Structure 1
Amino acid sequence: MASTPLLATLLALVSALGCCWAADCQVDSIPVMKDFDKSRFVGQWFAVAKKDPDGVFLQDNIRAKFAVKDGIMTATARGRVTIFSHWVVCADMVGTYSDTDNPAKMKLKYWGLASYLARGRDDFWVVDTDYDSYAIMYSCRERADDGTCANSYSIVFLRQLKGMTPSMQRSIRLKQESLCLAGKYHIVEHTNLCL
């Protein structure tokens, strides 16, 4: 189980603000990490807070491992998911990333290693990271006619399951606001399932 200080910090982060401070919430206006370096992003990350998209999505105990080989970034993720409204399993997902003209805005092709899991293509935008302790990513699966996102998801990752510094909390909170998702995240529990 995650430590009490971590849960308290995450609860404060998740519930800090309930409204959106961005001027227009246009997907094209969302700021991403400047000069993102995918080679520094490699290694293991733990999802600690997330805003889910519509449909089936990993629920909790989520660990992701990123690697870069020959300039291509790949990832594996494992977490608990509920299938068909009652079947709870630990699921493995795999993804490969394609570069765009902005290093922080990659295209993700993903699939589950079991046939009942989702597959598809998403944007994978690195909104912010210090590479050593935290990262926040964003994806808009479907844009509304007005240019805002009709179906998005976002994940806050930590390198280690321990409390966040006040500086990290401020950075993450500001980025959640810039995504028009402040107050929409929930904590991702880690209970040593799906190791």
Structure 2
Amino acid sequence: MASSRLALLIVLVSSMEHCLSATCIVEDFSVKEEFDAKRYAGTWYALQKKDPEGLFLQDNISANYTILDDGSMTASSKGRVTLFGFWVVCADMAAQYSVPDPTTPGKMFMNYQGLASYLSSGGDNYWVIDTDYDNYAITYACRIVKDDGSCEDGYSLVFSRSPRGLPPTIQRVVRAKQEEICMSGQFQPVLQSGAC
């Protein structure tokens, strides 16, 4: 009985040490090493998302990434959005990506624009946290970094090559990456019904 309590205490202390040592400093987040945009190109379907503040695609989100002749990447994406609290429409977005530091190609900057007047335009970081290129990808962006280096307004998407989901082994990898970017438990499922 005493050894069981001791084992439980050791596990609890170890868990607390891990939580205390975990950092939520945005610049400390790791991205996919030696990211290969050509392998990343093609169609991805969002399965989970953590939204930023403001208007964001709500479901049936997909993105098709293309590599141009100059090596740069563009994307066309679509998804449903609710406007004015009641009007549900399929929206199209376009984006162009640049790599500010060629030594870290997984950390890109995305300029995006809605292809209709009611959609927003702007720019965000677009970090590919992890991908195996064939099954899953998890992306991250922080719009506002607090004074302590953590993120005040960030968002993330879990993508799959298939709209039907990911196998359990890959789901475990994705959950671990969600913890690493301090967003564990903040994701919502994304409906993929083919509406767009």
TM-score interval, normalised by the smaller of the two chains: 0.7 to 0.9
Please give the alpha-carbon distance, in whole angstroms, between the structure 2 residues aligned to 1:152 and 1:83.
22
User: Quick one: distance in 2 between partners of 1:24 and 1:34?
Assistant: 19
Deviation at 1:162, TM superposition (A): 2.8
- 1:150-184 deviation line (CA, Å, top 9, x unaligned): 00000000001234223211210110000100000
Instruction: Decide whether aligned partners of structure 1 residues 94 and 163 sit closer, same or farther in structure 2, where only a CA change above 3 A counts.
Output: closer
**Partner in structure 2 of residue 130 of structure 1:** 132
Please give the residue correspondences for 1:1-195 in structure 2 after superposition, counting only pairs within 5 Å.
21=19, 23-69=22-68, 70-101=70-101, 102-194=104-196
2:11 corresponding residue in structure 1: none
Alignment length (residue pairs): 175
Length-normalised TM-score, structure 2 = 0.86
Structure 1: 5+ residue stretches without partners: 1-19
Q: Quote the Cα distance in structure 1 between the aligned partners of 2:22 and 2:72.
A: 35
**Structure 2 gap ranges (5+):** 1-17
- Structure 2 CA distance, aligned partners of 1:188 and 1:79? 10
CA–CA distance in structure 2, aligned partners of residues 120 and 50 of structure 1:
19
Instruction: Report the 3-state secondary structure (helix = DSSP H, G, I; strand = E; otherwise coil) of the residue aligned with 2:182.
Output: coil
Contact 2:46 2:163 in 1 (8 A): no
Larger-Rg structure: 2
In 2, the alpha carbon distance for the partners of 1:162 and 1:193 equals 14
Q: Secondary structure at the match of 2:108?
A: strand
Distance 1:164 1:97 in 2: 26
Deviation for aligned residue 1:114: 0.3
For residues 98-128 of structure 1, give each alpha carbon's deviation from its aligned partner in whole angstroms, at most 9, with x where no partner exists. 1121100000000000011011000000000
1:25 to partner: Cα distance: 0.4
Q: Residues of 1 paired with 2:24 and 2:166: CA distance?
A: 27
Deviation digits for residues 62-110 of structure 1, max 9, x if unmatched? Answer: 1100000120100000100011222211000000001121100000000
Alpha-carbon distance in structure 2 between the residues aligned to 1:165 and 1:88 = 31
Deviation at 1:31, TM superposition (A): 1.0
Q: Which runs of 4+ in 1 moved over 6 A?
A: none
**Partner Cα distance (1:145, 1:49) in 2:** 28
CA RMSD of aligned residues (A): 1.3
